[in-house]
């Protein structure tokens, strides 16, 4: 996704800066990349678990846990010693190992994924799926997609030349999102095994 949005940004006739990365677009860009992994079936439960564990570990470090405490947390969560050490190194990258600080980029993956997924669902619900495609026209935030829509209408911004296959198949994306909207209304705490056997 990072390369695709950079290429589309370079194709912009007036705003070549949309090819450039900046901290303000990181969450959306990482969210798009993680969403792409999810929708194409490239992400597995182990990767999701690793990301989730690192987010909890970041929280621990920010609240005072030191390198050893975070390492033990990863061990207790089922990671090997080597995996635990690598994960702990990632949490403390560039910060003191005594606690109170952390390298927080891993939180961007989950935050970005949730934001992008919610944005796509919102676009479906409000019949504005075009916005999902415009998001690929360069490196931008979700808010930019809304703000820039009039510029696309006026031809000042070019629609994305390159798009991932799953965004080109709007009906497939819409079907997945529609099911997601419906499925999210099912409260699992109210469902037991008998309901599943007998049919909801």
Arithmetic mean of pLDDT, 44-48: 84
Dist CA 194 CA 200 (whole Å): 9
Instruction: With cut-offs at 50, 70 and 90, classify the pLDDT of residue 30.
Output: very high
- Selection from 124, 127, 159 nearest residue 145 by Cα: 159
Whole-structure pTM value: 0.78
pLDDT value of position 54: 94
Q: In the block, which residue shows the tokens 């690929």? A: 136
Sign for the pseudo-dihedral over CA of 7, 117, 195, 200: negative
Contact between residue 38 and residue 113 where contact means Cβ atoms under 8 Å apart: yes
- Strand ranges (E), 13-169: none
pLDDT value of position 195: 54
Arithmetic mean of pLDDT, 37-60: 89
For residue 200, pLDDT beyond 60: no
Tell me 179's DSSP state. H
pLDDT value of position 94: 94
Arithmetic mean of pLDDT, 48-57: 92
Dist CA 74 CA 16 (whole Å): 43
Residues 6+ apart with CB under 8 A from 15: 9, 138, 156, 157
Dist CA 195 CA 32 (whole Å): 36
Residue spans of the domains in the chain: they are: 1-200
Write out pLDDT tens, residues 10-27.
999 999 999 999 999 999
What's the whole-number average pLDDT of the chain?
Answer: 88
């Amino acid at each position: 996704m990072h390369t695709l949005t950079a290429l589309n940004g370079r194709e912009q006739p007036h705003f070549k800066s949309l090819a450039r990365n900046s901290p303000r677009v990181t969450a959306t860009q990482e969210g798009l990349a993680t969403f792409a992994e999810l929708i194409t079936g490239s992400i597995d439960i182990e990767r999701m678990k690793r990301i989730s564990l690192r987010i909890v570990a970041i929280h621990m470090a920010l609240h005072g846990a030191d390198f050893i405490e975070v390492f033990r947390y990863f061990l207790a969560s089922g990671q090997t010693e080597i995996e635990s050490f690598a994960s702990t190194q990632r949490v403390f990258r560039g910060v003191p190992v005594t606690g109170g600080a952390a390298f927080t980029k891993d939180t961007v993956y989950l935050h970005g994924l949730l934001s992008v997924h919610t944005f796509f669902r919102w676009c479906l619900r409000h019949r504005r799926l075009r916005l999902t495609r415009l998001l690929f026209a360069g490196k931008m935030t979700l808010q930019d997609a809304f703000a820039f829509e009039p510029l696309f209408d006026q031809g000042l911004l070019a629609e994305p030349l390159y798009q991932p296959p799953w965004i080109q198949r709007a009906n497939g994306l819409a079907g997945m999102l529609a099911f997601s909207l419906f499925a999210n209304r099912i409260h699992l705490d109210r469902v037991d095994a008998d309901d599943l056997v007998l049919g909801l």
